[in-house]
Chains A and B, each alone.
Chain A
Amino acid sequence: MSGSGAALEVRFVPDEEVLKLIADDAGAKVRKDKTQLADSAKRFVKKLENISDEEAQEILEEKNYVAALGICARGSMGNGSGVSGGEVYSFQTPKRSSKMAELASELAQTPGQSVEPGHSECPEKTGKTPQNSKHSSSNKVQQRSKKKEAVSATPYRLRKRLPVPDLYLESESEYSASCSEEEDEEDQQEVNTVSSGQKTPAKTKASCMPPPRNTLARKNKKDKMSNLVEEYFEAHSSSKVHTSDRMLQKLRKRRLDQQTLHDLLKKAPLAYAAEIKDLNQQHESLFSKWMLQLHLGFNIVLYGLGSKRDLLEKFRTSVLQDSVHLVVNGYFPSITVRSILNSITEEVLDHIGTFRSPLDQLEFIIKNFREDSSLELYVLIHNLDSQMLRGERSQQILAQLSSLPSIYLIASIDHINAPLMWDQAKLSLYNWLWYETTTFKPYVEETSYENSLLVQQSGSLALSSLTHVLRSLTSNARGIFRLLAQYQLENKDNPSYPGLSFQDFYQQCREAFLVNSDLTLRAQLTEFRDHKLIRTKRGADGVEYLLIPIDDSTLTDFLEKEDEDI
C-alpha cells in the first residue's frame, strides 16, 4: 500500500509543478485549490485515506467540503441502516439539494480550476479502492462508501475526459474548457448521489447496501413538501441517528493532554492579530462610559464571540485599580454563589462567621451595604452563564446583589441561550445595559476547565488520580475496586448496563474474601464515593447499582497498570 502511495506521490509532484505554472496566471483561487490537491496527495501517502481526486477537485473551497460532509452523512444513512425511513432522508436532503444548487452557482462563477492531476491518478485509484474496501470492516464504511461511489463512478468520466488534458497546458483556453468541465462534474456528482445504487460496481456492494430506487423517488417527492418545522420533528423523532462510525482512535492520533494542547496552540499563530487588536481597542475606549453608567445604577453585560476575559481584565487594571473589586471566574468548575457571597462577606465586609443559607447571607450583605453608603464594590463576573452559575437560584441571588445601588456588576456571557436565564423580574433587578464586544479571542482560560473537552485530556488526569487515590487504600479496598472495574469492563459492550447491584457485588466480594460483612463493604463504598470513584444509582426495582464513572479505556489502562504493580 505504502509503496503504491509513494508511487502516487512521485507522479503527483510534477502535477503540482504544472499547477504552479498555472497558478501564476490564475491567481489565488487556483493556488488554494492546488494546496487542496497537495493535501489529498499527502493523504494518500499517509493513510490511504482515499478521498478521491474527483472529490478533491470538486472541492474548490471549504464550502465544497462542507457539501461533502453533507454527502457523507446522507450516504451513510442510506447504507448504514438499510431500513432507514424516508423521514431521515427528508431531513438531510433539502440541505443537500440546496447545497448543490449553491455549489453549482459557485462553480459557475469560479474561474477554471486545474483538474489534470486527477486524471493521471484516477485509474490507479479506482483500481485500488476495491481492495481497500475489502480490508475495511463493514462498520467502517459509511463515509468511505460515499467516496467509493464517487470513485467507482469515475471511469465514465475519465473516458470522457481523457482526450482533453492537452488543452490544460494552455492556460488561456483553460477557462472555457474547465468551466464546462465543472458543470460536467456537477452533473456527474448529482447522478452519483441520486442513483448511486445503480452505478456502484459490484465490488463496493460488499460494504454498502445500495438504497432501493423507490425510496429515492419517495425522497424526492418529500423534499418539496417538507418544511423546516416538519423536518425538525422528524429528525428528532427517530431515536436512531446515523453518522459514520469512524472513531478518533482509528486515526491513531495520540490524545492530547492539556499541557501539550497548550504548547501546540502557542505554536499556532493567532490569525488576524492586528484586526483583533483594533477591535479590542474600540472596546477599550468604552471604559469610561462603562464607569459612568455603572455609577448611574446600570449594570453592564458583555456579549459577542470571543473571550472577553482579557477585556475585563484590562478594564479592571486600568480603571478599578483603586477601588474595591471582586473578580469571579464563572467558568471555574467549582465556583458557587455561596463562594461569591463568602468572599464578599469575608473579604469586603470583614465578617467572620457562617450563615445558615445563602439567603441569610444575602440579607446580611444587603443590610450592610444599605447602611453604609460609603461601601462600594465592583463585581466582575467572567461567564455569568457558566454551568455553575446559570441555575435559577444563583441567578436570583446575583440579581438581587446587583440591584444594590453601591454594587456595580459587570459581567460577560457567551452561551447562545444565556439570555434565557433571566425572566422579567430578574432582568429588572439586573438592570442590564448590553454591550456587544466581539473580540474573536480564543477562549483559552474558559475552555481549559471544561472536562468533557473531547475526552482527549480527561484520560490521563483521571487515571493518575485514580491510581493516586487507590494507592492510599488497603489492599482489600483495592481488590474491591478491581472487582467492580473488571465486572464493568466485562459488560462494556452492553449499552444498557445498569451497574453492578449491591447484593451481587457483596456476594462476589465475599467469595474473594475481601469483606466479611455487608457493613464493611458499605463503609468501603462510602469511601469510594467520597473520592468520586464510584457512583450509586437506584434502579427501577429499588436495587442499588454501582458504577465507576470513568470511560472504559481509562479503566483498562488502570487495570493493566495495577497488574504490573502486582
Chain B
Amino acid sequence: MKDSTKEDINSSVTMTTKRGLITDSFKVVKKARNGVKREKRPPTPPPQKEPESEMAHEEELQRLRQFDLDWRFGPCTGISRQQRWERAKRHGLSPPEEVRDLLLQTHTGPDYNLSLWSEYPL
C-alpha cells in the first residue's frame, strides 16, 4: 500500500519537473546580508571582574567539578549537583559539606548547579 502511493508521488514530481521548475514561478530572492551581519557581531566583551573574585570563582567551579568526578558518589550525568549530593548523603557516603555550601549560594547560575557534562546530550 505504502509503496504504491510513493510511486504516485514520484511520478507526479517527475511530471512537474518536465513542465518547469518551481523557481520559474517563485524567484529566489537573496537577502542583503552584509550590513546586517556586521551589526549583529557581539559588542566588546564586558569589563573584567576583579582578579581575586575571579580566581575564587574559578576555584569554586574547580571544586565542584572535582565533586562531579568523584566515583564514590555515583554517576553525575543527568541530575543536578544538589540532587547528587543529597543522594550521597541519603546513602551515608558522607559527601563534603563545603560542596553543599557552595551549591546553596543564591547568586550562582547553571554552571554551579548543573553537572560538568550538562551541555552534552548524554
Q: Do A and B bind each other?
A: no
Give A contacts to B, CB under 8 Å: none
Give B contacts to A, CB under 8 Å: none
